[in-house]
A = this chain, B = another copy of it.
């Protein structure tokens, strides 16, 4: 998917919502447990109930991997029922030496057909570039994450006269590896104090923003500080939407939760775009 297609979808749906499919088999509604593939059945109903309200789905790969081979089957099936015009993100946080990152790219872009994959930057250029070989596939690189552990290394000050944080250097260096047409950055909603600086460094790039909802970040702050002229934001919500109800009405309640976020986003798009 191109950046223009993504922006067009945002305008059409008046939404920059990404729904995180962190589907835990231990949290499924009781009535789904008899289905042949309960995880897939849960996802299918969530997607059917929310596809007109969001512009991206982000399966959290750990949840599928923890199930062994059958988890990967559930993931394959889930991808098949996501409408073609919706952006898909494999939230996998991969990254390894070149010949190994090539295999991870094969896993998510060929074996599966994701539009993008989240990648960790620690191993540098040759660990990220193998994910950029296909022009219509994206890297979503970790920059400043939403968790408390982001303080440990991402917020270290650099020396050699740089005086900036490590995450700023990650943004600067990695933005030379690919344009805003193939690279996005993870910037946590809990990091609103730094979003202005992120925008100085990468004004055009889309930001994937986790941490609204369960983790406490503010959607309004992120929109005010982070929106650019093509929106430039995909704000993720996982638990707040997919687990809005644990009963037979889970899909309807997920839709209501997504709709509430979409309406807030519609107002923010009118205000800032």
Residues of chain A whose beta carbon lies under 8 Å from any beta carbon of chain B? 22, 24, 60, 62-63, 65-70, 72-73, 76, 91, 93-98, 100-101, 103-104, 106-107, 110-112, 120-128, 142, 145-154, 156-160, 162-163, 166, 169-170, 173, 210
Contacts and interface: CB of A to CB of B under 8 A. Distances in A.
Contacts of A153: 121-122, 124, 166, 169-170, 173
Contact of A22 (B70, B100, B101): B100
A156 B160 CA distance: 9
Contact of A127 (B103, B149, B157): B149
Contacts of A147: 97-98, 123-124, 126-127
Contacts of A112: 68
Given A96-B62, A123-B147, A147-B98, A111 B152 contact: no
A58 to B, nearest CB: 12
Nearest to A151: B124
A115 B29 CA distance: 33
23 contacts: A62-B94, A62-B107, A65-B104, A65-B107, A66-B104, A66-B111, A68-B76, A68-B111, A97-B147, A97-B210, A121-B153, A122-B142, A122-B145, A122-B153, A122-B154, A123-B150, A123-B154, A124-B148, A124-B150, A126-B147, A126-B149, A128-B149, A159-B163
Contacts of A160: 156-157, 159
Contact of A157 (B91, B158, B170, B173): B158
A160 B160 CA distance: 10
Contact of A156 (B69, B120, B169): B169
A173 B162 CA distance: 22
Given A22-B100, A153-B166, A166-B153, A122 B120 contact: yes
A66 B103 contact: yes
A123 B142 contact: yes
B72 A69 contact: yes
Nearest to A150: B124
Contact of A104 (B62, B96, B107): B62
A122 B124 contact: no
Nearest to A169: B156
B120 A93 contact: yes
A153 B119 CA distance: 15
Contacts of A128: 149
Contacts of A110: 66
B100 A60 contact: yes
A141 B127 CA distance: 16
A151 B95 CA distance: 15
Contact of A94 (B93, B126, B146): B93
